[in-house]
Structure 1
Amino acid sequence: MDLLFDHLVHFINRSPAEAAEKMKEIDRHAVIGGKHEKWGTWNSLMHAGLAYIEFLAVNDIEMARHADNELISLLLQNHHHEGFGAICFRTKNISTLRNILLQKGMNPKKVIHAERRLEDGELLQWKMLFIEQQEGELPLPFFIEWEEDSIRLKNLLGRGIIIKSGADEGISSVYFRVKNCKATAAKWSMLLDAKIEEYYSDYTLDSFCCSIIAGGTRLIFAEPAAKCQQSADTEEICQKPFKVCIKTINGKDSVHEIMGSWYEFSKRRG
C-alpha cells in the first residue's frame, strides 16, 4: 500500500484563527486554511513538513448536519469537547486503495470529491475515502488523494503555508487511548499493512501499549493499566488520539497541553 501519514485532525469549538494564534504562542507557524463550503466547516493548519495538524471547527451548524462526510459527523459528536479526533493517510490512487480494502474484508464507502476555498479565493480539491465502522470504536483512519500531490510541497512553500525551516520536520508518532491495545494494533496492522512492533508498559502513561509503524509514523495504542487491574467497565474509555510527537528543526524540546490534547516537540538529532 502506497500510504504516507498525511494529517491529524484536532477538533475545536473556537475559530480556526484563534487555534492558529495558540500555536504561534509556542513559536509554531500556523495559517488559516479556509472554508469547506459544502460541509459548513472551516480550518487552520500547522505543518511539519508535508504532514500537518488540521484545526477543524463548525461555522454553519445546519449545513454541517447535512454533510455527507464521516469526519464532519465525528466533529459534531465531539462538538463540545476539543481534542484530537482522527488521522488521515494519503495515497496516489484512492480507487485502487478502495479495492484493496474491499479485498481485506473492510467496508469502504464511496470516494468523496472534496474542496476547500482558500483565503485568497483559490479552490483546493482532493478525494477522500472513509471506512464503515462500529459506533464507539476508535475512529479508523481515513484516506486522501491530493489533486496536486507531485508538486504539493513546492506549492505549500510558495503560499507560505510551510516555511522553509519546517519543510524537513515531521510527525513522528501519534498516541491513541484504547480499550484493548493488542486487538486494536492487530486490526490496524492488517488494515494498513503495518508490522506490530512491540507490547510494553508505559509507566508515565500508566498504560499497556502496543505500536505499529504506518506511512512513516509510529502509532501507539495505549490501554489504561488501572482499568485492567481493577477489571473496571472499559466502556467508559473514550477511544481517540490524545498525543502527537513532532520532530522539529529549531527550538527546544517541549510538551504542551493545547485545546484538550498533548503536543510534544523534540529537536531532530543528527
Structure 2
Amino acid sequence: MAQQFTWDHTVEFVNDLKQAEQAFAEQGLTASYGGKHVGHGTENSLAYFNDNYLEFLTLYSRSEALAETLTRGQIFHEAGELLPEFEGFYRPALHVHGIEAAAERLRSKGVELGEIVPGNRTTANGEEIRWQLLWLQGDDHGLRYPFVIDWNADEATQLERYEQSGLLHRHAIGEVNTRRAIFEVPDPATISAHWADLFDLERTIGVDDEGRKYFDLAVGGGRDWRFVAGERNGITELQYTAPAGKSFDITIGQARYRSVEA
C-alpha cells in the first residue's frame, strides 16, 4: 500500500527571528518564538495556518550546526553553511504516518536516504516536543528534496495539540490558511512528474493568469505545490487564503508571502 505524504510545513532560513516576526505583525499575521533545537545550533519562530505551518529558522551556534552530519541533521548543517548569505525558503516537509514505510518506498524509488532520527525542540515554556525525521540526500536537477516528518500522531490528534497549545486562531486579520507553494524550476514538467511518482501525489497541468504553464501536485488539505519555469530552482512564494478585505504581501529575504483569492 502506498505511503501517504501530506504537506506539513515549510522552512525559511532567516538571520533575525524578531525582524521576521515584525514583518508578519505589520500585516496582521502572527509568528511567535518556538524555541531552540538544543545541541543542534538553531532556533525558530513559528506561524500556524490551520494544520500547515511556517518555520523561520536561524542560528544560535554556527559551530553546533556545522557539527551535524547531512545524514542525521541536514537542516542544521545546511543552516550553518548557508546563513547569513542565503535568506529565503529552504525546503518543505512532508508528513507521514509510519516513517519506516515511507523510507522503504523512497528507497525503492532509488533515492539515497539518511538515517531516521529523533528530533526535539524545547519551547519557550520549557516543554520538549519530539518527532522523527528522514532526510533525502542529494537533489533533483539542483532542487532540494523535501524532508519527511512523523509526529507519531494522526491529523486530528496533531490539530488538537495545536489547539491546546494556543497556536491557532492568532492572526490579527482572522483565519488564514495555506493554499499553495510556487516552485520556480528549470524543467517543471520533468521535476513535477518525478515528485508525483516519488511521493505518490496527484498531478494536474494548467495555465495561470500570466500565461505560464504550470504543473500542480496535490499535497493534502486542498493545497498544492505548483511548478513553473524559472531560474531560482526552489520555492519562491507561499500563497494563502485570508478573510475578505484582509490581503497581505510580505517579502523576507528571497521569500514572498501573499494572500490570494480562494
Q: TM-score range by the shorter chain?
A: 0.7 to 0.9
Q: Structure 1 residues 210 and 74, CA, compared in 2 at 3 Å: closer, same or farther?
A: farther
Unaligned 5+ segments in structure 1 are 225-236
1:221-258 CA distance string (max 9 Å, x none): 1213xxxxxxxxxxxx3411110011234652332323
1:172 aligned residue (176, 179, 182):
179
* Aligned-partner Cα distance in 2 for 1:135–1:211: 17
Asked if the contact 2:66/2:78 (under 8 Å) is kept, the reply is: no
2:15 aligned residue (13, 21, 26):
13
What letter matches 2:163 in structure 1?
A: L
* Aligned-partner Cα distance in 1 for 2:246–2:36: 33
1:113-146 CA distance string (max 9 Å, x none): 0101100011010000111124871110111011
1:104 aligned residue (89, 109, 125):
109
Asked if the contact 1:252/1:267 (under 8 Å) is kept, the reply is: no
* Aligned-partner Cα distance in 1 for 2:191–2:98: 26
More displaced 10-residue stretch of structure 1: 144-153 or 178-187: 144-153
Asked if 1:188 corresponds to 2:195, the answer is yes
Q: Which residue of 1 aligns with 2:237?
A: 243
1:160 aligned residue (166, 170, 176):
166
Q: Which residue of 2 aligns with 1:81?
A: 86
2:151 aligned residue (139, 146, 150):
146
Q: Give the number of equivalent residue pairs.
A: 253
Asked if the contact 1:202/1:208 (under 8 Å) is kept, the reply is: no
Q: Which residue of 2 aligns with 1:230?
A: none
Q: Which residue of 2 aligns with 1:113?
A: 118
What letter matches 2:178 in structure 1?
A: I
TM-score, reference length from structure 1: 0.85
* Aligned-partner Cα distance in 2 for 1:61–1:201: 41
TM-score, reference length from structure 2: 0.87
* Aligned-partner Cα distance in 2 for 1:138–1:178: 8
Q: Structure 1 residues 35 and 170, CA, compared in 2 at 3 Å: closer, same or farther?
A: same
Percentage identity across paired residues of the two chains: 22
How far 1:71 moved relative to its partner? 1.6
List 4+ stretches of structure 1 deviating above 4 A.
164-169
Q: Which residue of 2 aligns with 1:43?
A: 44
RMSD: 2.4
Q: Structure 1 residues 75 and 199, CA, compared in 2 at 3 Å: closer, same or farther?
A: farther
Q: What are the equivalent positions in structure 2 for 1:221-232 lying under 5 Å apart?
A: 221-224=227-230
How far 1:73 moved relative to its partner? 3.0
Q: SS at 2:189's partner residue?
A: helix
What letter matches 1:132 in structure 2?
A: Q
Asked if the contact 1:192/1:214 (under 8 Å) is kept, the reply is: no
2:217 aligned residue (212, 227, 237):
212
